[in-house]
Amino acid sequence: MDFLRKLTIIIYLSALVLLALLINGCKKPSAPVIDLTRVKPVTSEDSTLDKPLKVAISSITSPGYSRAYYEELLDYLSRRLHRPVQVLQRRSYAEVNDLLRAGGVDVAFICTYSYVAGHDEFGLELLVAPQINDKVTYYYSVR
């Protein structure tokens, strides 16, 4: 009887430890917060003023249409950073990730899967993500 009692206690304790690990492992990791209101004025001493900001985009539909989607944002970045923006277009997200991996661009507009692949393969870091209806969750639907 003493053996069965000890075995029962061990099983219960093991179950509690496993439950605690599962609960702790299921916590949603907090997303990093990037405060875009903290800005530093660009000065003439900044060495990047004469260098273009290299931005990669993938030609999802066609090169002209793809660039048109980002044109206003790219113009805004150029004005705010006081430097030109150079756009590098590629045919696929994989090619854009290759540019990011090699340091051939400063920033890129990529899809969710490309970010995950780049993060896992070469430590790609997220700068911003769209927020719609107070959520950054991405849903894919097949029609």
Reported pTM: 0.61
Which amino acid does the sequence have at 107? V
**The pLDDT of residue 79:** 92
**The pLDDT of residue 3:** 75
Plot region of 139 (φ>0 → left; ψ -120 to 50 → alpha; else → beta): beta
DSSP 52: P
**The pLDDT of residue 130:** 81
Tell me how far CA of residue 125 lies from CA of 12, 26, 107, 122, in angstroms: 42, 23, 10, 9
**The pLDDT of residue 120:** 93
Confidence of residue 101 (pLDDT cuts 50, 70, 90): very high
Contact 107, 127 (CB under 8 A): yes
Query: The domain 53-122 is classified under which CATH number: 3.30.420.80, 3.10.20.30, 2.60.40.3080, 3.40.190.10?
Result: 3.40.190.10
Contact 89, 57 (CB under 8 A): yes
Encode pLDDT of 19-75 as tens digits: 666 666 555 555 566 676 777 776 656 556 679 999 999 876 666 677 778 889 899
Residue 103 has pLDDT above 90, yes or no: yes
For residue 128, give both structure tokens.
């911003």
Break the chain into its structural domains and give their ranges: 53-122
Helix residue spans in 26-62 (DSSP H): none
Encode pLDDT of 75-99 as tens digits: 999 999 999 999 999 988 899 999 9
Contact 124, 105 (CB under 8 A): no
